[in-house]
Every structure is written in structure tokens, then in C-alpha cells.
């Protein structure tokens, strides 16, 4: 049995949900409402002590970290392979796995701050409940972000600008990589593209809407539009119905 604990349209949840769709793997989705802090409930922390989503459970084996989960899926279900055959392209794919993990940091700053996001949800709680919710964040970096948003004055202009600069540095790497082929690792659509598309899409919508343009980053924008046109991507990025948990 394959189960995915996920939060629907968070970037890391989309990474794994997209991988599952591309590989045509059936699974049971377990929706975790992060705006209700369900990821910090004791029963979930037994699966993922970091208190983050997603988490994969395969026949009792627990796999955490979205990038690692995707490699596990490609190892375990070799049909429809998502890693390049060329050793050089496979190496580049692994570099993009690392970059996709780095891409999370600027996204978190804006995602936690966004209206309707986790920070906004925390502000709606009474003082004692809010303080308790923040204290139960296992990961210090996320606890610090939530404290700034829900208990402090939020991020200042310099901090937001630094997050945007980090995001643009990553976009520049995408632009340069696409000079060598149609996909991030080269000639083949791979986990490199799957792991990065949720972040580039979020950057274009929320973090760098005035910078990530065809005039400044033509190859990145063309790649983004081409990847977003894939039926599997459209299905993954489509909002989930309120009663749907299968992801």
C-alpha cells in the first residue's frame, strides 16, 4: 500500500504529487491541513518528526523529504523512468535536486506571509493557542519565521528583498541551464524539472512577478509555460475539491 501525506498545493506536496502522476502510480492521499497545524499532531510526528509535509508510507516504510521521496519512487517503480539515461545528465539532475531544496527558503518567506497562509492562520488564534502552535514547530527555521510573522512585526523590506534576490539567483541558474537543452538536465524531461517547476511557478506568481518575464528570462518563461501545459502538471496544480484527499 502506498500512502502520501500531503498538503495539496504546497510546493513540496506538488513535487511528489506530480512525480506520482507522471509515473502513473496509484496511491492513497492523506490530506494534512497545515493551516490547522495538523502536521504537528502527535500521530503525524510519529511519521515525520520534522512536522512537515509530504511524507510517503510504502508498505510500512516511511520516507520523508520531497526530493528523496521522488528518487525513492523512481527506484521502486522503474516503469516510466524519470531519471536520464546519460550519466552526465543524471549528474545534472542531482544538482537540480539540491537546488530545488535551496529554492524552498525564499518561497517559505512569502508563503508564510501570504494572506490565507500559515502565518495568517496563526494570527487568528488566541494568544495562548498561537504561542503553543508556534512552540510546537520542530524545525527552528520555521519556528523563527512563524514567530516573526505571527508574534512580531513580520519581515522588513531588507529581508523580503534578500529572499527575492535568492529566488532570482536560482532563476538565473535555470536560465543558464536551458541554454544547453530543452530541459533542466539536458535532453530529457526528468526529476530535475518535476522538482523545480513548483518553485519557478510560485516565483513567477508571487515572489518575482515583475522580474520573471520573457524579456529578462526568455528560456525560463518558455520552459515554465511548456511544463505547465503538460496534462499531469495541470492535474497536479489544480485546486483540490474540499472533500478530495486522494491528491
Instruction: Answer yes or no: is 147 within a domain.
Output: yes
Instruction: Answer yes or no: is 71 within a domain.
Output: yes
Q: Which domain holds residue 65?
A: 2-81
Cα 7 to Cα 37, 40, 76, 193, 247: the distances in Å are: 11, 13, 23, 21, 9
Instruction: Answer yes or no: is 243 within a domain.
Output: no
Instruction: Answer yes or no: is 145 within a domain.
Output: yes
Domain containing residue 138: CATH number? 1.20.1050.10
Q: Give the pLDDT mean for 99-105.
A: 96
Torsion on CA atoms 19, 21, 26, 32, rounded to nearest 10: 70
Pair 171, 196 in one domain: yes
Pair 120, 71 in one domain: no
Instruction: Answer yes or no: is 47 within a domain.
Output: yes
Instruction: Answer yes or no: is 244 within a domain.
Output: no
Pair 163, 208 in one domain: yes
Instruction: Answer yes or no: is 131 within a domain.
Output: yes
> Which of 131-135's residues contact partners 24+ apart within 8 Å by CB, and which partners?
133/37, 133/40
- Predicted confidence band of residue 246 (pLDDT cuts 50, 70, 90): very low
| Lowest model confidence (mean pLDDT) among 111-125, 133-147, 163-177, 178-192 | 111-125
Q: Is 91 helix (H, G, I), strand (E, B) or coil?
A: helix
67-82 pLDDT tens trace: 999 999 999 999 999 9
Pair 123, 175 in one domain: yes
pLDDT for res 243: 43
Q: Is a pLDDT exceeding 60 seen at residue 142?
A: yes
CA distance 97 to 123: 34
pLDDT for res 123: 85
Domain containing residue 49: CATH number? 3.40.30.10
CA distance 223 to 177: 11
Q: Are 1 and 28 in contact (CB under 8 A)?
A: yes
Which of these, 164, 9, 173, 160, lies nearest to 99 by C-alpha position?
173
Instruction: Answer yes or no: is 247 within a domain.
Output: no
**Residue finishing a domain among 49, 81, 113:** 81
- The alpha-carbon radius of gyration of the chain (Å, integer) is 18
**Residue finishing a domain among 30, 52, 81:** 81
Q: Is a pLDDT exceeding 90 seen at residue 131?
A: no
**Residue finishing a domain among 51, 81, 111:** 81
Biggest distance spanned by C-alpha atoms of the chain:
55
179-215 pLDDT tens trace: 999 999 999 999 999 999 999 999 999 999 999 999 9
The number of distinct structural domains making up the chain is: 2
Amino acid at each position: 500500500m502506498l500512502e502520501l501525506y500531503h498538503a495539496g498545493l504546497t510546493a513540496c506536496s506538488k513535487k511528489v504529487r506530480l512525480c506520482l502522476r507522471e509515473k502513473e502510480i496509484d496511491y492513497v492521499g492523506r490530506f494534512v491541513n497545515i493551516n490547522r497545524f495538523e502536521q504537528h499532531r502527535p500521530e503525524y510526528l510519529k511519521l515525520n518528526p520534522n512536522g512537515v509535509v509530504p511524507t510517503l508510507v510504502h508498505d510500512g516504510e516511511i520516507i520523508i523529504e520531497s526530493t528523496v521521496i521522488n528518487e525513492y519512487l523512481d527506484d521502486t517503480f522503474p516503469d516510466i523512468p524519470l531519471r536520464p539515461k546519460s550519466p552526465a545528465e543524471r549528474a545534472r539532475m542531482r544538482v537540480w535536486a539540491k537546488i530545488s531544496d535551496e529554492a524552498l527558503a525564499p518561497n517559505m518567506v512569502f508563503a508564510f506571509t501570504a494572506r490565507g497562509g500559515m502565518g495568517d492562520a496563526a494570527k487568528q488564534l488566541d494568544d495562548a493557542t498561537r504561542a503553543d502552535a508556534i512552540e510546537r514547530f520542530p524545525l527552528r527555521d520555521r519556528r523563527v519565521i512563524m514567530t516573526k510573522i505571527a508574534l512580531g512585526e513580520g519581515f522588513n523590506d531588507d529581508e523580503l528583498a534578500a529572499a527575492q534576490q535568492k529566488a532570482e539567483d536560482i532563476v538565473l541558474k535555470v536560465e543558464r541551464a536551458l541554454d544547453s537543452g530543452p530541459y533542466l538536465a539536458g535532453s530529457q524531461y526528468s526529476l530535475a524539472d518535476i522538482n523545480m517547476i513548483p518553485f519557478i511557478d510560485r516565483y513567477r506568481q508571487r515572489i518575482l512577478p515583475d522580474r520573471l518575464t520573457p524579456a529578462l528570462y526568455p528560456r525560463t518563461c518558455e520552459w515554465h509555460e511548456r511544463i505547465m501545459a503538460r496534462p499531469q502538471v495541470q492535474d497536479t496544480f489544480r485546486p483540490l475539491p474540499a472533500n478530495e484527499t486522494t491528491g
